[in-house]
Amino acid sequence: MPTSLATLESWVDEVASRTRPEQVTWCDGSDDEYSQLVRQMLQSGDLSELNQDTYPNCYLHLSDPSDVARVEHLTFVCTDNADDAGPNNNWLSPADGHERIDALFDGCMQGRTMYVIPYCMGPIDSPYSRCGVEITDSPYVVVNMKLMTRMGAAALQRIEREGKFVKGLHSTGDLDPEKRLIMHFPDELSIKSIGSGYGGNALLGKKCHALRIASYQARAEGWLAEHMLIVGVENPQGETHYIACALPSACGKTNLAMLIPPASMPGWKIWTLGDDIAWLHLDDAGQLRAINPESGYFGVVPGTNEATNKNAYDMIRHDAIFTNVARTADNEPWWENKGVGEPVTDWQGRPYDKANGKAAHPNSRFTVAAGNNPSYSKLAEAPAGVPISAIVFGGRRKELAPLVYQARNWRHGVLVGAGVASETTSANIGEVGVVRRDPMAMKPFCGYNFADYWAHWLSFAGRTETLPGVFHVNWFRQDENGRFLWPGFGENLRVLKWILDRCNGRAEAVETAIGYLPRVEDLDIDGLDINRSDLETLTSINARQWQVEIEAIGEYLASYGDRLPAELRDELQIVADKLAHGSVNTADS
Ligand code: GTP
Ligand code: SPV
Ligand code: MN
């Protein structure tokens, strides 16, 4: 066996004897290995070639139609005590969890190759990085892991040096939704997932390791694992400040992470560090720093076009894997709002027919290496990460939430994060468009009790004098006809500019009950085509609606019982009192 680490070797043997693969392959992460697996999948039909003249090295994978998104209802955190997983997770005892899922793994790899994938989440030389090994019977998973993580020989060397790694066992099984389960055993640093080939369920380095297991470890070790993009904003003076921003699934992280400044903001530049996950640590000087544990993007395809996200549009023109998009007559990938071309076959490979719904699945995805992104930051490889000036939370809210506001202080900021709610999206199997609580955009991803998680967030205030400012944004306000009030995408830079100016004491705001809001004149709207009344709506709050919201947040927080930190309850009371006693800038009528 090609490892000197006995615990790794014995685990691989143990898995092989349960799953009974035809052969075992250790992945070295080389380009040759990637090409060879692609050739093999073209032969088996797992992948098909897209137009190699216009989309060189791009391939299409069509999933089983039942297997196109995460499955929160089938995802479990297995801890000794149910309370440690919390009301925010499905729970089983570790013994019951293993028993239930192991039965499905018995003999599941017969006739298949079992791949062993050593990977490193984070720059290979960073002290903040963590390693894992994923065992899978899916070549699609191997090639996606190659694009998304630092995988192969270098990761194996680090694992052998450290002797410690997260064990992830995955099989596509028979894709029967009744036999699909994703289990986490944080005390054992292990993950078991069966019955799905979809990204978040199958690429175990991503949500399973880098969020659920990592958040559990981060609490014990004093850091944070978050569902956040990391972006560098360079102003015309050449100074770059970094922002970490948590938005729920399919709510704009990839787009914000690589936005292109509007023509009317010359001299501004955006540098992408990460588009989905951030690991945040306080350094010795008390500065919060972030690394992106991933090295690729698994992004939402629909809506990507030259106007909304040209960086993404360009980076998926070569060396990309498309999952569940449609195709044109000239064999190019097609999706809703691509802006060019027409579909001839849909995401299920059928002749396109409007009566069957969308041509591309709403949760169709691209996978590309981060290096494909024209705005990829050099500091994305820096072992020490980047210093974070602002933390931004947000959600998808037709109503209520203004374009942007700032929390009064860290403790209030934790309440703002805990109070995030957002309309559900097709990133999870289930109903779309219903508002649900999604604290810190981590509802599906926090590997332990949210009450303990908020206490952990609060504890940072006692550890340093220099925490980032905390903000909330909403790009998705609509009028009664469903029209977006804010143009979004590149224009979101105007909001980032106000946020950074606030952090540097260079922008004005008014204090309201919910925090500091910009007045229209505090935002840089030079060259922006938007009417004044929309701007006024976006920068004001309705006190009565907010009273209802604060009450709803109170009820939600109360569902965490005695474990809820008293500080959060106190902060909520402060906001409730301010709303009750009236405050400036409430566009109440
Ligand atoms: P995950 O990968 O699921 O975690 O999602 P994400 O947060 O990275 O979301 P992404 O950036 O892929 O955006 C999801 C959808 O929202 C896409 O269809 C985008 O076109 C759309 N979107 C992103 N930013 C904006 C915006 O500023 N305004 C509007 N109206 N839509 C946006
Ligand atoms: C999300 O759902 O938040 C994603 C896609 O980023 S997945 O990798 O499936 O989690
Ligand atoms: Mn995500």
The predicted-structure confidence for 99-142, as pLDDT tens digits, reads as follows 999 999 999 999 999 999 999 999 999 999 999 999 999 999 99
Give the pLDDT score at 134: 99
Specify whether the CB–CB gap between 231 and 272 falls below 8 A.
yes
Specify whether the CB–CB gap between 258 and 311 falls below 8 A.
yes
Beta-bridge partner residues of 278: 226
Cα–Cα distance for residue pair 207/277, rounded to 1 Å: 8
With bands split at pLDDT 50, 70 and 90, how would you rate the model's confidence at 82? very high
One fold for 6-45+68-222 and 226-295+379-587: no
Give the pLDDT score at 587: 45
CA–centroid distance, residue 252 to ligand 1 (Å): 3
Closest residue CA from atom 10 of ligand 2: 200
Kindly report, residue by residue over 537-563, the tens digit of the pLDDT. Answer: 999 999 999 999 999 999 999 999 999
Contact partners, residue 480, CB within 8 Å, separation at least 6: none
Cα–Cα distance for residue pair 159/168, rounded to 1 Å: 14
% the chain with pLDDT above 70: 99
Q: What is the mean pLDDT of the chain?
A: 97
Q: How far apart are the first and last CA of the chain?
A: 73
Q: Decide: 209 in ligand 2 pocket, CB within 6 A.
A: no
Kindly report, residue by residue over 295-326, the tens digit of the pLDDT. Answer: 999 999 999 999 999 999 999 999 999 999 99
pTM over 0.95: yes
Using the structure block, give the residue that is written with the tokens 């109440």.
Answer: 588
Q: Tell me which of 3.40.190.10, 3.40.449.10, 3.30.450.20, 3.20.20.70 is the CATH number of domain 6-45+68-222.
A: 3.40.449.10
Residue 37 one-letter amino acid: L
228 burial type by CB count under 10 A (0-12 exposed, 13-18 middle, 19+ buried): buried
Give the pLDDT score at 20: 98
Cα–Cα distance for residue pair 15/24, rounded to 1 Å: 11
3-state helix, strand, coil in the chain (%, to 5): 35, 25, 45
CA–centroid distance, residue 581 to ligand 3 (Å): 39
Kindly report, residue by residue over 27-47, the tens digit of the pLDDT. Answer: 999 999 999 999 999 999 999
Q: Is the pLDDT of residue 588 over 60?
A: no
With bands split at pLDDT 50, 70 and 90, how would you rate the model's confidence at 582? confident
Torsion angle of C-alpha atoms 429, 434, 439, 441, degrees rounded to 10: 50
Q: Decide: 59 in ligand 1 pocket, CB within 6 A.
A: no
Specify whether the CB–CB gap between 426 and 432 falls below 8 A.
yes
Residue 428 one-letter amino acid: N
Asked if CATH classification 2.170.8.10 holds for the domain at 298-371, the reply, yes or no, is yes
Domain boundaries, the chain: 6-45+68-222, 226-295+379-587, 298-371
* Mean pLDDT in residue range 436-450: 98
Q: For residue 248, which atom of ligand 2 is closest to its CA? A: 3
Q: Decide: 206 in ligand 2 pocket, CB within 6 A.
A: yes
Whether 251 is a known active-site residue: answer yes
Write the CATH number of the domain with boundaries 226-295+379-587. Answer: 3.90.228.20
Q: Is the pLDDT of residue 435 over 60?
A: yes
Q: Point out the catalytic residue in the list 78, 251, 446, 503.
A: 251
- And the tokens for 14? 């143990």
Give the pLDDT score at 484: 98
Specify whether the CB–CB gap between 417 and 438 falls below 8 A.
no
Q: Decide: 296 in ligand 2 pocket, CB within 6 A.
A: no
Give the pLDDT score at 589: 33
* Mean pLDDT in residue range 9-28: 98
CA–centroid distance, residue 32 to ligand 1 (Å): 34
With bands split at pLDDT 50, 70 and 90, how would you rate the model's confidence at 393? very high
